[in-house]
Amino acid sequence: MKHRIGFIKTIIICLYDWMLLFSILFFLSFPFVYFHHEGDLGNNVFYQLYVFFIIFFYYTWFWIKHKQTLGMKSWRVYIEDANGLGSISIRQCILRILFSLIGGHILLIFYDKSLHDLISKTHIIKKDS
């Protein structure tokens, strides 16, 4: 049987993934920090694209290959296509990432699905063992 998860659990899962992403970005940013001798690294367009690609790759890889990120795995939840097709597509991953960046989780306070779930036609569920 499948169960939807609530707002609090979704935010906790996001925090888990953000901590993991922070550590990944920390170590993968060493080449830029080492070779960048000018002022602010945050204004470097190549670095911003590099960070975005790492974030995109992290979520896309785990959602498509494993149906869950490492944060989702901790709470035993999965991401599925809302039509029941199983794993999600790259297009759905892109929509989820982009709309979560503009605050897609806010809708969870008032509704049982987030904005990026509605737009990408996906949902996060907990399966009973």
pLDDT digits (tens, 9 = 90+) for 12-70: 988 999 999 999 999 998 888 777 766 677 677 888 899 999 999 999 999 999 999 99
**Residue 1 pLDDT grade (very low, low, confident, very high; cuts 50, 70, 90):** very low
Treating both helix axes as pointing N-terminal to C-terminal, what angle do 45-66 and 90-101 enclose, rounded to 10 degrees? 130
**Residue 2 pLDDT grade (very low, low, confident, very high; cuts 50, 70, 90):** low
Distances (CA, A) of 28 to 20, 25, 78, 118, 119: 12, 5, 27, 32, 31
pLDDT digits (tens, 9 = 90+) for 75-126: 888 888 877 777 888 998 998 888 888 877 777 777 777 788 878 888 888 8
Give how many domains the chain has, as a whole number: 1
Between 54 and 2, name the one with better pLDDT.
54
- What pLDDT score was predicted for residue 39? 66
In DSSP terms, 81 is beta-bridged to 122
State the residue range of the domain holding 76: 2-127
- What pLDDT score was predicted for residue 112? 73
